[in-house]
Amino acid sequence: MMPTLFQTKEVFRRAEAVCFDVDSTVIKEEGIDELAKFCGVGDAVTEMTRNAMCGSVTFKTALTERLSIIRCSREQVNKLITDHPPQLTPGIRELVDRLHLRNIKVFLISGGFRCIVEHVATQLDIPLHHVYANRIKFYFNGEYAGFDESQPTAETGGKGKVINMLKEQYGFKTVVMIGDGATDLEACPPASAFIGFGGNVIRQQIKEKSSWYVTSFGELLKELEMI
């Protein structure tokens, strides 16, 4: 049974940890689409991302197919981050600061790439050991060599696995997942609550399945101010 809006807000207010998706949530864009555009294969990859977000193919299949088209080098990834750094969603910096002030642990759990997500974490003062994301592998000459398939975030259901791991490791009782896509929604449970985020893109099926759906981080900040 879907929790009520009141229950979800209550869990958020007493959360010990808050986990954020990154692409189209913490940042405005989809990192993999930006990388594809940068490598000249944008259109082919954007369509596949849309399918992956809606849950119509397994996440690992979508990731494998997209990366096999992009085949980015280490140099291209570094140049993307330098020339087109990820754009933070308005309000996320203030929200993360407020959570940190309240001693609530913040984690980034992403189906995107660690090299990009670490850059985002640094901007938000989130420790790098609180980042869970996929690793692109490169040969010694910097050419694309695949991705690390052993990472939980490479699998459908991977974000839930990470949350289970966090609960075991830190003893958290209340963990909230915030995100825009199917892989975020399916992380609850084991997350205690899920908050759908539509500030960058509204995915109708996520909106319909969320007891609390917000389109700006200001709504979450306002809720924390009520405590």
Q: Is 180 a catalytic residue?
A: no
Q: Report residue 97 as tokens.
A: 């600061």
Two tokens, residue 143: 């050419």
Which pair of structure tokens corresponds to residue 170?
């830190």
Task: Say if residue 7 is exposed, middle or buried (CB neighbours under 10 Å; 0-12, 13-18, 19+).
Answer: middle
- Which residue from 59, 115, 60, 120 is spatially nearest to 88, judged by alpha carbons? 120
- Best CA proximity match to 89, nearest among 223, 181, 217: 217
**CB 22 within 8 Å of CB 133:** yes
Question: Which residue among the candidates 23, 33, 180, 184 is catalytic per the annotation?
Answer: 23
Strand, helix or coil at 35? helix
d(CA 202, CA 208): 11
Distance CA 209, CA 207 (A): 6
Residue 21 among the catalytic residues:
yes
Continuous segment of H or E residues that includes residue 137: strand 136-138
Note whether 106 and 92 are within 8 A (CB): no
Point out the catalytic residue in the list 21, 33, 180, 184. 21
Residues near 186 by Cβ (< 8 Å), separated by ≥ 6?
A: 55, 156, 157, 159, 160
Catalytic residues: 21, 23
